[in-house]
Amino acid sequence: MGAWLLGLKKYTSSGVKTKMHLTPIHIRLIASLSTTSLLHERDSIMVQLGTLGAFRQSELISLEVCDWLTNRECDSRGQSYGAMVFLKKKKNDQEGKGRWKRIGWGGDLCLVRRVEKYLHEAQLYTHAECQKWKDVAMRTTPCGKCGPLFPMVYGGTRFNNKRERINAKHITNAIARMLTAAHVDDVGFTSKSMRKGGLLIAKQAGVPKALRCQQSGHQSNAHKVYESDDDTDTEGNQDLPKDNPPGSFWREHLYCFSQMFGL
């Protein structure tokens, strides 16, 4: 029995411990770097999106081009709130319904505009035969037409015809490359540094627990694994409700999490 348990531990351990989290300074440094190649641009956007959206690495890997939607939710004046990212599946999605993450418009380093530019210049488009938003039953299944939002890059400059999907190692390497380019020591950073950074910064900014869990997808107190007990959870943002209101949060509330980084 002891040997069996030891083997189980080998395959279920979390691996390298995430000691460091990405901060607004890290993200702004990365967002400010001049684009030198397609690989650099993909990595930069992936790290920014992973942090502002508190993504799991598996969620980033599964994203397809048609999962990114802009200008779908607007205020009473018809002004768009930003972009919506659809997750076909997530760790605790027992019913397989999928869910949304929201990324609000920003300033000079706006991530939404940068993703739109990346899609255009990399020629990543929603395929004409894509059925995801034409047939509700197709939303939570892999598209098979549009391809991954973050494909593998060859030679730093091109995708291949198959548009192969990245894996967890590519995400960790992307973080290391971006931090190194920004002259930051990458020791202690892993793919979980994005999710940990997003939740920590939102907590420090006074974003209430209910809204943090709305963005991260946590349905229990598991979000505390990514948050430090030393950070004051003041719930001090008076513009945001502390609890999940009847009928869900207002749309503008859902975009506040990503705007805590001030891009």
CA distances 180 to 18, 47, 57, 173, 174, Å, are 17, 13, 20, 10, 10
Q: Name the band, by pLDDT with cuts 50, 70 and 90, for residue 247.
A: low
Q: Name the band, by pLDDT with cuts 50, 70 and 90, for residue 36.
A: confident
Answer yes or no: is pLDDT of 225 > 60.
no
Domain count of the fold of the chain: 1
Answer yes or no: is pLDDT of 38 > 70.
yes
Tokens standing for 58? 């598996």
11 domain residue, yes or no: no
12 domain residue, yes or no: no
4 domain residue, yes or no: no
d(CA 243, CA 248): 10
Answer yes or no: is pLDDT of 217 > 90.
no
pLDDT given for residue 230 in this prediction: 54
d(CA 91, CA 196): 16
Segment among 90-99, 107-116, 153-162, 199-208 with least mean pLDDT:
90-99
Q: Name the band, by pLDDT with cuts 50, 70 and 90, for residue 220.
A: low
pLDDT given for residue 232 in this prediction: 52
pLDDT given for residue 150 in this prediction: 97
53 domain residue, yes or no: yes
Q: Give me the chain's average pLDDT, please.
A: 84
233 domain residue, yes or no: yes
pLDDT given for residue 17 in this prediction: 59
- The residue range of the domain holding 216 is 17-261
Whichever domain contains 210, its CATH number is 1.10.443.10
6 domain residue, yes or no: no
Segment among 25-39, 167-181, 190-204, 232-246 with least mean pLDDT:
232-246
9 domain residue, yes or no: no
pLDDT given for residue 76 in this prediction: 87
pLDDT above 90 as % of the chain = 54
Geometric angle at alpha carbon 23, from 85 and 31, rounded to 5°? 65
3 domain residue, yes or no: no
